Amino acid sequence: MAQQKKEIDDRFKRFGTVSFTAITKVNEFVGFLEKGVLAGTICKDCGIKFFPPRADCYKCLGSNMEWFPIQGIGRLVTYSRLQYAPSGFEKEVPYSIALLDYGDFKVFGRLSPDLREEEIQLGMEMRPKVVSTPDGQLTYVFEKA
């Protein structure tokens, strides 16, 4: 009897310029990116907000998570503009990696390539925007709020 092949949810391979992970319990992260939403998870039992999103809560050991959208303004903690890139990212140089602080959590990502260097200041207000790469990968960048 022919076995029915189980469908594998490997959507996570679509995240970022080069994804090093295909399968994770938080694959819905990519489902949200497809809808233009950057999302984290919140533990329904103890209320901790997680970004990056997690499937499991290390505090209460529950796995009772729900998604929440990352909305509003975060502040730029720090960044670096790369003039040299690891293999797989050469075509994108220069680009800037950065960290935003939302108070309850922080978000690691990239600065929008449209930002001029003189516009960037630590502490500035920014918000994430979901974008796709020329190769059809999904990611997000931080824009001036």
Partner 1 sequence: MGKVAIIGVGQSSFVRGYPGSIRELAFEGFKEALKDARITTAEIDASVICSAPEYDKQRSPSGVIAEYLGLTPQPTFYVETLCSSSSTGLRLAYSLVKSGLHKVVAVIGFQKMSEISSQESQERMGRGADIQWESPFGTMMPAYYAMYARAHMERYGTTLEDLALIRVKSSVYGQMNEKAVYRKPVTLEMFEDPQNPMSGPVASPLRVGDCCANADGSSCVIVANEEMAKSLCEKPVWILGIGAASAPVNLAGRDLFTGLSVAQRAAEVAYKMAGVGPKDIDVAEVHDCFTIAELMAYENLGFAKPGEGKELIRGRETYKEGSIPVNVDGGLLSKGHPIGATGGSQIRTIVLQLRGEAGPMQVKDPEIGLVHNIGGVGLYGNVTILGR
Let me know if 119 is exposed, middle or buried by CB neighbors in 10 A (0-12, 13-18, 19+).
exposed
**Binding-site string for partner 1 from residue 3 to residue 22, where x marks contact by CB under 8 A and - marks none:** ---------x--xxxxxxx-
Interface residue with partner 1, options 86, 103, 134, 136 (CB under 8 A): 86
Q: Is 72 in the site for partner 1 (CB under 8 A)?
A: no
Contact 65, 57 (CB under 8 A): yes
Q: Is 27 in the site for partner 1 (CB under 8 A)?
A: no
**Binding-site string for partner 1 from residue 90 to residue 119, where x marks contact by CB under 8 A and - marks none:** x-x--x-xxx-----xxxxxx---------
In terms of CB distance, is 47 or 108 closer to partner 1? 108
Give contact residues for partner 1 (rule: CB under 8 A): 12, 15-21, 24, 51-52, 77-90, 92, 95, 97-99, 105-110, 122, 139
